[in-house]
Structure 1
Amino acid sequence: MMLSSQIPMDPEGPTERLCTWVESLKYRDIPAEVITRAKYLILDGLACGLIGAHLPSSEKAATAIMDLEAASGSASVFGWERKVGPLSAALLNGTFIQGFELDDWHRDAPIHSNSVLLPALLAAAEHYSRKARCNRDLSCSGKHLLLAYVTGCEVGPRVGLGLWGTHVLSKGWHSGAIFGPSAAAAAVAKLLGLSAAAIEDALGIACTQAGGLMSAQFESEVKRMQHAFASRNGLLAAVLAKGGYVGIKKVYEREYGGFLSMFSSGNGMVPQFKPEEVSKDLGVKWEIKNIIVKPYASMAGTHCTIDCMAALRTLYPGKTRDFSNFESIRIEMSEPAYHHGGWKAVRPLTSTGAQMSNAYVGAVYLVDEEVTPIQFRNDKLDRDEVWRLVDITTCEYNPEYSKSPQDKARTKVTITLKDGSPLSHEKGAPRGVRPPLSNREILEKWRAITKGIIDEERRNRIEQVVLSLEECNDIVAISQLMTGLTTNPLA
């Protein structure tokens, strides 16, 4: 008997309530519209993985990590003709999905769910399938993948809400890298069929590995990998728990050294953390419905700026194209958006920094009238016409936008002309949030961004498998289709 099963849990605590729910959740318990949405979200995540597989930073990471690996592993690397160990596969594939700011995010508790969940789940499925051919060690059907994926989509944001969601970003933590290990551990534990006691161990092991500094958004490339750390660490946690390794008990509610207690330390909120959020409304309120799919290739906090610029271009087409007549550009935003993307961009700037800067992204839209991967190629990052606009742009925190949760995405852009006249537009939420992208729009995005990255036959096959996952008997088919060279979108 595993030691974990001999240790009693607190039946009234949020950690055990969460673990019990994860263990007991059945495919039939999930509403049909949630299952359908999950399939389209998965498709979007795979598209992002293919786009990110051969970016320059991705290739550096892949080369370094593959150098540590044996000649042949058990888990596929997206966009490469190579298999590595499952932990390394989760790390690389998560890095690729987060590689170009095109991936999903949660509206209230920012986490990029696909970059955390898909790499861990697919690596676990492929590894154990190869080892045991889907015997009692693992269930490999599409329904089991959907069940585990939805589980992770529910756990990650709830853990984040226990830390006041977006406020984690304001304090300088990379929010999804903090919430992510819990999501990956819960999802893989569900796929492995672990008991509630073992799930608690997995979460406890995952939480002690959480971390991520938001200063990674400036000069570094490691911002792309931080959700992937969460994916790898959550997978490792579930595998250890499967083997009977004992994790931290009651990890979310403990005062001394507990997950929520430590990551909320000094946040100035009252209460400091909210453990009840971890298990609140499970199976009643589906957090997957609050996962947002991005229409633009930039950090989510820049999207309202893009939409404001687009509206101004429509309202004042002539005036907004005469850059010589611009005196200044002012972008007002909420506290989380300001801390995340309101910093002053200066030359030289990496593609990561460019995608995180409201001033830069807004300038790019004014010049190009689009924000796609092409705008962030290395040869595009030093354009004088863009930087002249960046240099006259100021980003400001508007306290009014932080008073209500409904206003945390609110943004106002004001272009002041040299005669002193202002051109202003304000939006409460960007496209993709209100309204969210429809399933049809997600499918169109999948087809558009993968065009030229993989051949049409392969693209169609992935699309067919994912959108009929409930009929798939072996999800290893997805990993097999994701293996094989792809094109660098920035080449």
Structure 2
Amino acid sequence: MGATETIAKWIVDTSYEDIPPEAIRVANESCFDLLGVILAGSTQPVGEIIQQYVGDSGGSTQATVLASGLQTSLSNAALANGTMGHALDYDDFGGFGHPTVAIFPALLALGESLNSSGRDLLEAYVIGCELGLALQHTTKYAQMEKGFHSTAVIGRMAATAACAKLLGLDQEQTVIALGIAGSMAGGVIHNFGTMVKPLHAGLTCRDAVMAVEFAQRGFTAGHQIFEHPLGFTTPILGEGIYDLDDMAENLGNPFRVQDALIIKKYPCCGGNHAMLDSLFSLMREHNFTWEDVASAEVDQSYLSIVMLYTEPDDPLKGKFSAKYNVAAALVDGDVNIDTFSEERINNPEIQDTMEKVTTRVLSKWEESSGEVLKGLPVRITLKDGRTFEHVTARDMILGGAKNPWGFDSIKGKFEVNAGLVLSDERVAETVQTWSDIGEVTDLSETIRSTLVGADQ
């Protein structure tokens, strides 16, 4: 049995009971968090465009676009909700880019049509996410070297595995679905800082739904999508010294979900988060403001995503600019949805403060020493001559497994995000309903009664 068949067998055979409770808890938090992020993302320009597109496309009324309540086809609902879920770059990260937005919107659409339970969704989500995490762990895929967004390439396989589980495909159909998804993989880094990046997530979710529906209807595809030299892994993720058979045989041993996912506190690229945690820690400890700062220096990887734009001229580019995020944090004392607006991007105080921020790029050889994993320092020099430095290791980012944010904080984030679309009363009802997804029984009715604006 080859790697693809072994993977498909694991997807079919693994059940909710096989999943560690801690993995279910973390999955629940990330999926709950994403629902709020989707609602908030619906108010963004890219969210408005994708809803208009789906509305104009028509199609059978099989699933719901959140916020607006628009009824559309499964693939279009997955496309819209996935795109809106990544519109703010506020969804979780870790492992293979942004796991939850690559998987959960597809499951929501498919699950609504099947009237699945919340428990079914969590089971399928973890199984799909585990495949994606195993691929990332095994191949050590580096998106900034290869040029393909990991959310859009590994995420397609993860989402397809999840949807295959939810739809109840057998082993042969699951092999075919994965084969189909392998030919859909794509999404280039060049489009970070534009509306296309959130579209990557939407297309990933759409394609996963299409792949499993095609497979269920008898579509054919290659049977060795992972191990074939001209399949998915080598051409897309790259050659390397790794053993796909070993990966396939050890799926779920151990489960990785509970250790991989990081809830976002800031609506920007995850590459900013350790840096911002360090900066805010220094500001709290030493009680200084932007007016006190003479200079700020941040170390960055030579592959850093947050150095794509050193002088961002629009809000989406600002999400991928370390200089902008440091300056905005210093001036505003916070980084939130409003940070990434035309008003704040063009704010004179933030623009002046950006001139004080420099980045020191680590060489490839410095990175090979492993120092990057220990965290990169943020150095602040004040006008009175005092200098402060702080380092936050990636695995100690607030919101991760070793430094959890806590459900009350996640709920607070959800309430703010959902409140951009829903009434206070409906926000409270939605929190009550979705904070424990495993208890949701009537998925179709629950989505329409809680995740859609009351006036829709």
TM-score (norm 2): 0.91
Aligned to 1:293: 263
Query: Match of 1:113, as an amino acid?
Result: P
Q: Are residues 39 and 102 of structure 1, via their aligned partners in 2, closer, same or farther at CA, if it must alter by over 3 Å?
A: same
1:205 corresponds, among 154, 168, 180, to 180
Question: 1: CA distance between counterparts of 2:80 and 2:152?
Answer: 15
- What is the match of residue 240 of structure 1? 214
Q: Distance in 2 between matches of 1:16 and 1:404?
A: 37
Q: Are residues 307 and 196 of structure 1, via their aligned partners in 2, closer, same or farther at CA, if it must alter by over 3 Å?
A: same
Alpha-carbon separation, structure 2, partners of 1:227 and 1:244: 26
Give yes or no for contact 1:401–1:410 (8 Å, CA) kept in 2: no
Once the two structures are superposed, what CA deviation does each residue of 1:82-114 show, in whole Å capped at 9, x if it has no partner? 1111111111100111111111112xx333222
Aligned 1:36-435 pairs, distance under 5 A: 36-70=25-59, 73-106=61-94, 109-129=95-115, 140-165=116-141, 167-218=142-193, 220-255=194-229, 257-265=230-238, 270-271=240-241, 274-276=243-245, 278-279=247-248, 281-289=250-258, 290-318=260-288, 320-323=289-292, 326=294, 328-336=295-303, 338=304, 340-348=305-313, 350-399=314-363, 402-403=367-368, 407-408=372-373, 410-416=375-381, 422-429=387-394, 430-433=397-400, 434-435=402-403
CA distance in 2, matches of 1:277, 1:454: 47
Contact 2:40 2:420 in 1 (8 A): no
Q: Are the equivalent residues in 2 in contact too, given 1:90–1:228 (CA < 8 A)?
A: yes
Instruction: Decide whether the 8 Å contact of 1:80 with 1:486 is kept in 2.
Output: no
Q: Distance in 1 between matches of 2:119 and 2:430?
A: 16
- Deviation by residue 1:358-410 (Cα, 9 ceiling, x = unmatched): 11111111011111102112222211111122233222332476336683372
How many aligned residue pairs are there?
450
Quote the offset at 1:67 in angstroms: 1.3
- The verdict on how the C-alpha distance between 1:405 and 1:291 changes in structure 2, with shifts beyond 3 A counting, is farther
- Alpha-carbon deviation of 1:119? 1.5
TM-score, normalised on structure 1?
0.85
How many Å separate the matches in 2 of 1:409 and 1:345? 24
Moved more, 246-255 or 109-118: 109-118
Post-superposition offset of 1:343: 3.2
Distance in 2 between residues matched to 1:110 and 1:245, nearest whole Å: 28
Offset from partner CA, 1:234-268 (integer Å, 9 cap, x none): 1111111111212221111111x221110234xxx
Return the alpha-carbon distance in structure 1 between the equivalents of residues 285 and 297 of structure 2.
Answer: 17
Distance 1:278 1:284, change over 3 A: closer
For 1:303, what is the secondary structure of its paired residue?
Answer: helix
Aligned to 1:67, the other structure's residue is in SS state helix
Instruction: From the superposition, tell whether residues 175 and 190 of structure 1 become closer, same or farther in structure 2 (CA, over 3 Å).
Output: same
Which residue identity is paired with 1:408?
A: L
8 Å CA contact retained: 2:107, 2:162: yes
User: Against the structure 1 CA distance between its residues 162 and 124, is the aligned structure 2 distance closer, same or farther, given a 3 Å change threshold?
Assistant: same
Residue from 462, 466, 487 that aligns with 2:430: 462
2: CA distance between counterparts of 1:471 and 1:295? 26
TM-aligned CA distance change 1:401 to 1:88, over 3 Å: farther
Unaligned runs of 5+ residues in structure 2 are: none
Partner deviation per Cα, 1:217-250 (whole Å, 9 max, x = no partner): 13x2111110111111111111111112122211
2:96 counterpart letter in structure 1? P
Identity in percent: 27
- Contact map agreement 2:134 2:251 (CA 8 A) in 1: no
Alpha-carbon distance in 2 for matches of 1:482, 1:355: 30
- Residue type matched to 2:179 in 1? G
AA aligned opposite 2:213: V
Structure 1's 57 and 469: CA in aligned 2 closer, same or farther, altered over 3 A?
closer
Partner of 1:28: 17
